[in-house]
Amino acid sequence: MILRRPPRIAQALLRSLGGRYAESLEGDLLEEFAAGRTRLWFWYQVTCALYEQAWRTVRRQAMTFAAAFTFFLLALWAIAPVTYPVMRWARTLESDFLVLVAWLAGVPFVLGSVAGTTQRRRFTGAILLAGTCAYLTPLTQPFTLAACDLCTRSQPSTAPGAVLLLTPFASALLIGLGAWVAARITGQSSGSADEIA
């Protein structure tokens, strides 16, 4: 006898990022799965749920993301002199791998604090997000190298301006995406039990 089990990863994704009615939706999917629906159908439904939730969040937080990116660009020019020492320190490291590790190690902490703030105070959150982006920019050297290698096959110093601009954009995008994921996870507990009769 072959036991049919619903895809656990899909369930975990739904629980973490599925929004206000994630629990009810998961129950509905399990009910339909028990009635004979396939694993592929289950994954399709979860993918739709994640897409719906992502699109909904982007629409709601559009001003936050726009403000964050604007402040990011402004802060980048304003804070650049302050970040030079960090840049120099990053360049003294032996390998790009260590720079990447340093970059990744700071990200979860920063994202957690930023996401907590953006939940309630969007404007303050945007400023914090921009400052964080500006601070992290020197540590995005691996992105620059990868972008230069991919796009121009040249060194960063000789790369066109567009490629160098790609780096802050990529970091802003990644941090924005990370902030969204963190916000979804931290905001998961609110809005379900207390609003349902």
Closest CA to 163 of 180, 182, 176, 144: 144
Binding mask 39-78 for other proteins (x = CB under 8 A): -----xx--xx-xxx--x----------------------
Residue 192 DSSP label: S
Binding mask 1-20 for other proteins (x = CB under 8 A): -----------------xxx
Report in angstroms how near the CB of residue 173 gets to other proteins at its nearest: 24
Binding mask 17-46 for other proteins (x = CB under 8 A): -xxxx-xxxxxxxxxx-x---------xx-
Closest CA to 68 of 139, 168, 166: 168
Which residue, 26 or 128, is less far from other proteins as judged by CB?
A: 26
Report in angstroms how near the CB of residue 12 gets to other proteins at its nearest: 13
Task: Name the residue type at position 17.
Answer: L
Instruction: Give the residue carrying structure tokens 């001003």.
Output: 63
Closest CA to 89 of 105, 103, 76: 103
Q: How many Å apart are CA 31 and CA 24, to the nearest integer?
A: 10
Query: Taking a C-beta distance cutoff of 8 angstroms, is the pair 147, 167 a contact?
Result: yes
Report in angstroms how near the CB of residue 122 gets to other proteins at its nearest: 18
Which residue, 44 or 89, is less far from other proteins as judged by CB?
A: 44
Report in angstroms how near the CB of residue 89 gets to other proteins at its nearest: 46
Straight-line distance from the first to the last Cα atom of the chain, in angstroms, rounded to the nearest whole number? 41
Report in angstroms how near the CB of residue 116 gets to other proteins at its nearest: 23
Residues that bind other proteins (CB under 8 A): 18-21, 23-32, 34, 44-45, 48-49, 51-53, 56, 195-197
